[in-house]
């Protein structure tokens, strides 16, 4: 199956992460959403993001291994990656150049802050 996905990642604390060629990036505590695609195998691509141990190949790999929580939303049989990213860049803060080295987008990673609630958030 091919398609697009939204990967929601939560960082419990502020972090400074070395992100490949982007260098050291400051990430604030809270939720992020990454827009990606899997045009060869959507399921395999998304499953890779949940692995804690992997070769760090893409920008998102550097962030996903640091995330406290990850949730994926799949959009099968649609190539919407850049369309979604171009819309999200007008609504949310972003990390410039993140995840978009093979297209003309400004970013594919957006900071949502604490607008999403997780099970851990509702326990307090």
Model pLDDT for residues 30-54, shown as the tens digit of each residue: 999 999 999 999 999 999 999 999 9
Q: Which domain holds residue 71?
A: 3-122
SS3 (DSSP) at 65: coil
* Average predicted confidence (pLDDT) for the chain: 93
Q: What is the pLDDT of residue 50?
A: 98
* Residue range 62-66: mean pLDDT, rounded: 97
Q: Which of 24, 86, 34 is nearest to 64 (CA)?
A: 34
| Predicted TM-score of the model (pTM) | 0.91
Q: Report yes or no: 2 and 75 within 8 Å, Cβ to Cβ.
A: no
pLDDT greater than 90 at residue 71: yes
pLDDT greater than 90 at residue 122: no
How far is it, in rounded angstroms, from Cα 60 to Cα 108?
9
Number of domains in the chain: 1
Residue 106 CB partners (closer than 8 Å, separation 6+): 85, 89, 94, 96, 97, 100
């Amino acid at each position: 199956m091919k398609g697009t996905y939204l990967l929601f990642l939560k960082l419990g604390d502020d972090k400074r992460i070395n992100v490949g060629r982007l260098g050291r990036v400051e990430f604030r505590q809270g939720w992020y959403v990454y827009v990606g695609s899997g045009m060869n195998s959507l399921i395999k691509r998304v499953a890779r993001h949940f692995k804690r141990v992997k070769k760090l190949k893409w920008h998102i790999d550097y962030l996903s291994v640091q995330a406290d929580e990850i949730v994926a939303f799949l959009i099968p049989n649609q190539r919407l990656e850049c369309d979604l990213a171009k819309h999200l860049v007008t609504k949310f803060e972003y990390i410039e150049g993140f995840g978009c080295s093979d297209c003309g987008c400004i970013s594919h990673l957006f900071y949502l802050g604490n607008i999403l609630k997780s099970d851990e958030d509702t326990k307090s």
